[in-house]
Amino acid sequence: MNLLELRTELATLLAASLGTYTLPNSSTTPAIAVRSSGENLPADTTVSGLEVVLIRDPDLAPVPQYRNAGAIRTWTVFLVDWSNAVDLEPIGAYLIEAYPGTQLSTVAVPRTGGPQNQMRVTIQSSSVPATGFPPYNPTVFPTVSALAFDTSTDLDPAQGHVTWEADTSTLILGVADNLHLHLGADQLTLCRNNSNSVAIPKGTAVMFAGTLGNSGRIKVAPMVADGSLPGYVFFGLAAETIAGGADGFVTTFGKIRGINTNAYNEGDILWCNPAVAGGLTATEPAAPNLKLAVAAVVSKTNNGILMVRWDTGRRLQDLHDVEANGNKDDDDVLAWNASASRWEPTDRLTLLEQRVTNIENSLP
């Protein structure tokens, strides 16, 4: 593969991502060029987006592990981001897939009005793309067989980034500022605060409050646990403070970190507080308040941790074979209705009369 062949291939493979040269006469052309090492852009020529620069002269890479193996000729290609808006890593990964044996290295550049990011790509001259190799699509990431994460790092992933967390022995995904999803250990749902003006503080117990239809968003509001609503409206605990009318994450299972737990003791089981909408209490509520045990205190500190476990509790009338959602009076008892195959509330007098009638009907 010679230099012209490589330039032609790269112009085709990277066409969807190439930036633009604007020439002195104001005409434009794709930002791919062949230059000598140290050669700059022609005067009065500007570039935007991704520039691909092929160095005119090849290098020789020795292969010392084999006797009399000679050397491999390589081409040096620079991927240059002039806009600070081009992700060079997936493009480099694509070139590794297209040209086996390719090596990558990031080049440090001063961000003072020139290139914002730069990557050096070393392509072996004997490497040729497979027949019909698809052009690079900036909306599709390269396919790999496996990814290996450094398990010794302790990084704080930005939104959309994934890293390994040694403390929990799992991958963590940055989903928002200071909010991470521990893959396989947390369950988060993006919800809308039903109030347009009142924020939902982090750690607040929340309940279903409607939906936003085609948006796919669930509306939530502080949980009311005084028995006026059924337990099945409970949804989870706010994983972050959700501003009025804004979207935020709710944890249905997993740990909420960075929350003040000084009011409790480590190991306490926390219930939805029937006296405070959205509040929590370490004291088990008394009926008819809802008894929703929704979290446990992992650490007691200003920057504590709660372990959330979604639970909606149970009422007797919510059992599948009980029909008791209508009117109920003092001294009612549950009686089996064989014809309906269910338990129903019945006052004691009616129940006694039925039994007397049954006894009378059974006498000779």
Who's near 331: CB < 8 A, 6+ residues apart?
347, 348
Distances (CA, A) of 246 to 127, 179, 249, 277, 321: 52, 16, 10, 19, 41
The Cα–Cα gap between 283 and 269 comes to: 8
Q: What is the pLDDT of residue 41?
A: 84
Tokens of 155: 């990084």
Q: What is the pLDDT of residue 18?
A: 94
Query: pTM to 2 decimals?
Result: 0.60
Q: What is the pLDDT of residue 299?
A: 96
Question: Which of 4-13, 208-217, 246-255 is predicted most confidently?
Answer: 246-255
Q: How confident is the model at residue 328 (pLDDT cuts 50, 70, 90)?
A: confident
Residue type, 61: A
Classify residue 51 as exposed, middle or buried by CB count within 10 Å of its CB (0-12, 13-18, 19+).
Answer: buried
Examine the pLDDT at 127 and tell me if it is beyond 80.
no
Q: What is the pLDDT of residue 206?
A: 98
Q: How confident is the model at residue 331 (pLDDT cuts 50, 70, 90)?
A: confident
Give phi and psi for 178, each to the nearest 5: 60, 25
pLDDT averaged over every residue in the chain: 87
Examine the pLDDT at 202 and tell me if it is beyond 60.
yes
**Contact status, residue 282 vs residue 271, Cβ threshold 8 Å:** yes
- For the stretch 298-321, pLDDT in tens is 999 999 999 999 888 877 887 888
The Cα–Cα gap between 176 and 239 comes to: 11
The Cα–Cα gap between 295 and 280 comes to: 9
Examine the pLDDT at 294 and tell me if it is beyond 80.
yes
- For the stretch 336-351, pLDDT in tens is 888 888 888 888 767 6
Q: Tell which wins on pLDDT, 222 or 3.
A: 222
Q: Tell which wins on pLDDT, 330 or 288.
A: 288
- For the stretch 145-179, pLDDT in tens is 788 888 887 788 888 889 999 888 899 999 988 89
Residues 332-358 as b/e (b if ≥16 CB within 10 A, e otherwise) read bebeeeeeeeebebbeeeeeeeeeeee
| HSE (side-chain half, CA atoms, 13 Å) at 205 | 29
Q: What is the pLDDT of residue 147?
A: 80
Q: What is the pLDDT of residue 133?
A: 77
Q: What is the pLDDT of residue 258?
A: 93
